[in-house]
Structures are given as structure tokens and as C-alpha cells.
Chain A
Amino acid sequence: MGWEEKAARGYSEFVQAAQQSRGRPVFAFFSGDKDAQGRSWCPDCVTAEPVVRSELNSLPDGAVFIYCQVGDRAYWKDPNNEFRKNLKVTAVPTLLKYGTPQKLVEEECLNRELVRMLFTED
């Protein structure tokens, strides 16, 4: 059955995507917005994305992977942005298993083994 990817831009789209996936394991990757050339303003996100994508094949069956662009740099720096307030996501990149305390933050996302551990263990 494999896994499914959803894309979300901004907080409300993320919440919608997560709610649509209720009942299935949901993993989310939060990144700074990508420009027209497809490059994010967040350099660590640029480095982390290929690492995370390389491990997607270890996702459990039926899982949903949400690739979420959080917004531009100014939005992200605002201490009251919704991701910070409601989801407690305080850094990009963040890779997390939705609804659990399991997450990887910043340079942890660059560690292939940690990414695999997040995707495969409970």
C-alpha cells in the first residue's frame, strides 16, 4: 500500500492535511518557503530535504508524509506565528511524527539514521 505525500503551504493548509489523514500515521517536514527556483530561504532545510526523502521508503504502510512550507523568513521570525504557538514547532527544519512527542530538529534531520528511526520505531 505504501505511503502518500501531501503538500501544504502555511498553517491552515497543514492542519487541513493532518485532519484529512486522521487514523493514519502522519509524519510532517517543516521547511522555509521555496522561491520560484525551488530553493528555500532556510539553508539547513535545503540540506535536510534530500536526506529525509532518501528514507521515505522506510515509512510504515498507510503513512502520510506532509511536506509543509511554513512561510517566508519574516513570518517565521515572528514569535507569535501559529506553528510556534500551536504546534510548538520552533525551528526549521523540523521532522516530526504528528500527535507524538517524537521529533527531530535542525541538524538532527541531517542524520539519516535518526530519520529512519523516527519513521520506523514506536
Chain B
Amino acid sequence: MGSSVRKGKAVLPAEQAARPSREQPRRAATEDYHHEAQNANNGQAITASCKNKDADLQFKIQAYIDKNTVMIFSNTACSLSAKVKELFKSMSIPYCSLELDQTEDGQKLQDVLYELTMETSVPIVFVQQKQIGDYDKTLKAHKEGKIQKLLETKGHDHMQDSYDYDLIVIGGGSGGLAASKEAAKYGKKVMVLDYVTPTPQGTRWGLGGTCVNVGCIPKKLMHQAALLGQALQDSRKFGWQFEEKAVKHSWETMTEAVQNYIGSLNWGYRVSLREKKVTYENAFGEFVGPHTIKATNNKGKEKFYTAEKFLIATGERPRYLGVPGDKEYCITSDDLFSLPYCPGKTLVVGASYVALECAGFLAGLSLDVTVMVRSILLRGFDQEMANKIGEHMEEHGVKFIKEFVPIKVEQIEEGTPGKLKVIAQSTDGREIIEGEYNTVLLAVGRDACTRTIGLDKVGMKINERSGKIPVSDEEQTNVPYIYAIGDVLEGKLELTPVAIQAGRLLARRLYTGATLKCDYVNVPTTVFTPLEYGACGFSEETALEKFGEENIEVYHSYFWPLEWTVPSRDNNKCYAKIICNIQDNERVIGFHVLGPNAGEVTQGFSAAIKCGLTKAQLDNTIGIHPVCAEIFTTLSVTKRSGGNILQSGC
């Protein structure tokens, strides 16, 4: 039992002669041993009683080690024992010492200690249950700062060096990679497990998570492809001359280029992890017990690993409708960005930013696009802005079917793309409609990847309905050694930079004693619909609810980007709005812009908002001319006044 087993050392039979120590003479305790043996009736009984005695002594030794932060097995006659005690006294570290020459069974205890520690003499020092050794080893450990380090860690149930890793990160996306690289910076032994379960269509991708492979990166590149198409049209008005029929778009060329770039990012992450000495395995990680996970690779091979701490960063995957034909025939954003053939006439189901951004760029590439929406657009976003986005898309050829949901998807024809029939029902149940499309893209929400990673085996609480993980403001779950970041979190923004920031700060808090927590307030975002939307802070609805109509002032205006004047594009569509808190110096608490390069515009203002930007400061800022963002330095019409904000020109 006890530490002999833990250390993997054989328990030597008690009959073995006690080894004389260097520092102390043979003890009279041996006599006691003989006494007991002689009292026994036969050979076996002697053995038995020897073994029992041994077990008792092992137990006693172990108890001393376990119960004391610093344990010194010592001898009053031993000068090195005295020296080691002095050492701890000089460090003002309290210790417990057992003087073996003064203890009953002292010699036997010493023998047991030898079997446990392989130290032939006293003193034998333990710190936080970890064996340091004799005086020389203790002095060396002290000089290397190891003793201090051991004392700083709070008492653990397990010994640190019995774990395979300091930190295992499950999920190699934005959050997981940032946290693992940061932890490795501080010398921690880190492993990252990343695994992509193929989509129902069989799509898979490499290291880097959603953003890099099937999210932000390919989305923005395809959005750019669409914008360039528009720019080509505008260019004629600026004097560029070419035949209309010379302009065609190749889906395959675009997708190959995008995938190539993503491939270089996947590779870059592999190199980066290797260089920073983070172990990476392409395997599915799941908990099988406390501090233990099982990693299964795509060949089914299983490996088990233990770690002192874990970080769950498994993200989300697209939700399906749960209607016949959805998994067989529909695709999601997981499939779209690597689709080897042009999707053709597309039905996008959903009203999220994923749905609208995808519908937007597909239409921009001259595809026939319809969006089927159950209720409102962009739930959770400022609804005035959401509606303007929808209107703009409609004016530019995107068809909307509102208040309908698909109830069945059938295949009419196979092919790449094939032909699909979608049967949909109105939300009030009264009407059924049908439509034919080459591709049906589902974008009806994303589900957290927490159901199949064994969280029940470690007693982790998750939100049963959504699957998301509630955490403290330090990203700690209800299990003290398990943390979580990124899209899996309940109640937090699902954005790459948020996950990265949270991951880095968490690693610093865990391994450097830093205290800075992730600030989830006033995080700027941008929706890359054809008319881009950038926002920071409160939506108008939320501000009204929180502060009351009389306490907020909304300044707004339309604006016309100079670049759009010559091609006569979209006047009085671009829109700027700020929401100010009257009771707090007209502090800007909400920033909204609808127009080109909305992300670039919003980033700068979000820094100002973090500094406590007020309306007066904005008014005091001189604009840059001629750019879209300057509108924010000259806002004067409030919603309250009902004044006209239509523009007639520069």
C-alpha cells in the first residue's frame, strides 16, 4: 500500500538484513524485532507478523509525509540532520522532524524509509509529499529554488509530476491555440487535441478551428470576391472599358485560391506549435475520469493522457433543421467554403449573420439567391440596422421568403450541383409552398460541442438545453481544474478575438500570477453583408430598456460615400448612429455604422469608446475628408427632434 506502490518500488521482504547507515550505529531496536519473532509459534507466523509490522510502519511513515508540509526523518546524533533543520529555520519554514533514534522501531522505520526512498541514511527530507532526499540534495534543491516552488503550490491530492501534462487543451481553434501557446511560453508542458468530425457531406479541414477553416477567413475572402465584382461594374463609370460579356466569375478558381490560403494557415499553426514545443495530436479528446482523457485518432487508435489542468475550447457546429432530407441533401457553412462546384441557384435558410453574409456574397457573385426567414433578421443585433441590411439586400436582387420554415427537402436530380425540392410551411401553419433550388444552405444556428466529450465523467455542469458551459469571470467551470473559453461559453460573445484574448489572459493568470480578466464589455463587431455593418456597445433597444428613453440621446444621419457618387450608387442607404447617455456627460454607449469598410471604421471608434468617449469629444474631433467615418464628427440631428437626415450630396 501507500507510497511504495506509488513509486513503483518493490516492497522488499522484511527478512532482508537491515542496512547499516552511514551516520548512525546499529540500533538496539533490532532486539525488539527478535523478541516479537520468538514469540511466534511457527515460521509462517513470523513471516506474517513481520509483514504486518512492515505494513504498519509503512503506514506510519506515509502518514508523517502526508500530514506535514516539510517532513524531515532525522537523528539527534546526526550532524547533517541538524544542518538540514538549520537550513529550514534560516528560510523561516516550519518543519516536522522524526528522530529515529528516539522512536520505537526506529531502525525498522529507517529500513522502510530506505525501501521507499533508496536513501541510505538520515536526514531524509520531504516537501509537500515530494521526496527531496539527503542534506546535499536538499541544499541543491534550495539553491535551485525548487523548495520555494513546491511550497508555493497549494496542497494537491495528486503529486504534480505524476501527470503527463501541465495543461491539455481540447480544441485547436482560435481560443485553444492562443491559450496553449501562451502557456508554453511560461515553460508549461502543453498538449492540444484537435479533431474535426466530418460533416454529413463528408467535409473536413485542418488545424485552426472554425474561424480559419469555415468561418471568418473564407467568408471575408468570398465577400471580397463579391465586392470586386461590384467594383468592376462601378469601374466603367470611372473610365475603364471592357465588354460586359468579358466579365465572368469562376467559383472553382476562387475556392481553390481560398482553400490554398487556408492550407497555409493550417500549416503555419502546425509549425508554430512545434516551434513552441506544444504537443499536437489530431485526435478526438473526451474525459474518462478525473484528470484523465482518452484521445482517439481517425484510425480508431486510443491513447490516454492525464493533466493537472484542462481547457475546453471545442467550439460549435452548425445545427440542422430536423426535417426529412436535411442531412442528406442540405449543406451548411461547414461545406460551402470548400464546395468543389458552384452552388448555383441557392436557398439560404436562416436569418443569422451567417445566413445573410453567405446569401450576400453568393448574390454578389451573380447567383440566384433566396433567403427563407422564420421571424426577424439578426436576432440580438440592433433591429433598425438589421432591417436596413435586409432592405439593401432585397434591393440588390436577394429574394426573401418571410415567416416560413422548410418541412421537407427532396432530391429531384443528382449532380454537382443537383436539383432539390424544398417544401415549406408558414409559421402560422396555414400555407404550404414549394421551390426548386440547386443548393440548400442551412444557417439556423450553431450547437456547442459538449455533449460527447465525457463531461459527465468529471461532474461538469453544462446548460442542458443549449449545451453551453457556464463559467466564472475567470473562465473556470464548476470543476476547479477545468476551464473553458470561446464559443462553448454560456452568455459570452462568439467571436475569435474574444476567445484569443480570454485564452491568453487565462494562461497568464494560471501560470504567472497575473490577475487581469477578460473584458467582455464594449466588444466591437462587424457583419459582412453586402452593405457592411459595424457596431460597438448597446443596440438602441437595449439602451432604451436599460436607461429609459428620456435618458438617452440618439444622433443619426445618412451619408453617401464619395466613391459611390460617380457610379450613382445607393444614396441615402449608408447610415451612422450613436447612442449617448445623457446622465453621464453624453457618453457614447452605442456606435453603429452601415457602409463600406464598416469594420475598419468601427475599430478605431471602439478604442475611443473604451476610453470613455463623449459626444462633446466627438464633436471636438476634426474629421478626415473625404471619408465615410468623418460623419461621426459632425452628427447633429437627434431622433428626438425628428429632423430630416436625408443627404443631397457632398
Contact = CB atoms under 8 A, between A and B. Distances in A.
A111 interface: yes
Interface string A92-122: 0000000011111000100101100100010
Contact of B275 (A102, A103, A114): A114
The main secondary structure of chain B at its interface with chain A is helix
A108 B274 CA distance: 11
B264 A101 contact: yes
Contacts of A114: 271, 274-275
Interface string A72-96: 0000000000000000000000000
A111 B260 contact: no
Interface string B258-293: 001101101100110011000000000000000000
A115 B266 CA distance: 16
Q: Counting chain A CB atoms within 10 Å of each CB, which of B267, B270, B274 scores highest?
A: B267
A86 B263 CA distance: 18
Contacts, number: 24
A117 B274 contact: yes
B270 A121 contact: yes
A113 to B, nearest CB: 6
Contacts of A103: 267
Nearest to A113: B274
Contacts of B266: 101
Contacts of A102: 263, 267
A110 to B, nearest CB: 11
Interface residues of B, number: 10
A101 B260 contact: yes
The main secondary structure of chain A at its interface with chain B is mixed
Contacts of B264: 101
B384 to A, nearest CB: 43
B263 A100 contact: yes
A111 B261 CA distance: 24
Contacts of B261: 101
Contacts of B260: 101
Contacts of B263: 100-102
Contacts of A108: 271, 275
Contacts of A101: 260-261, 263-264, 266-267
A117 B267 CA distance: 10
A38 B261 CA distance: 37
Interface string B586-617: 00000000000000000000000000000000
A102 to B, nearest CB: 5
A11 to B, nearest CB: 21
A121 B207 CA distance: 13
Interface in B249-265: 260-261, 263-264
A111 B267 contact: no
Nearest to A97: B267
Contacts of B267: 100-103
Nearest to B264: A101
A83 to B, nearest CB: 17
B275 A111 contact: yes
Contacts of A100: 263, 267
Q: Counting chain B CB atoms within 10 Å of each CB, which of A101, A113, A114, A117 scores highest?
A: A101
Interface of A: 100-104, 108, 111, 113-114, 117, 121
Given A103-B267, A111-B275, 15 more contacts: A100-B263, A100-B267, A101-B261, A101-B264, A101-B266, A102-B263, A102-B267, A108-B271, A108-B275, A113-B274, A114-B271, A114-B274, A114-B275, A117-B274, A121-B270
Q: Which 7 A-B pairs have the closest CB atoms?
A: A101-B264, A101-B263, A102-B267, A101-B267, A114-B274, A113-B274, A101-B260
24 contacts: A100-B263, A100-B267, A101-B260, A101-B261, A101-B263, A101-B264, A101-B266, A101-B267, A102-B263, A102-B267, A103-B267, A104-B271, A108-B271, A108-B275, A111-B274, A111-B275, A113-B274, A114-B271, A114-B274, A114-B275, A117-B270, A117-B271, A117-B274, A121-B270
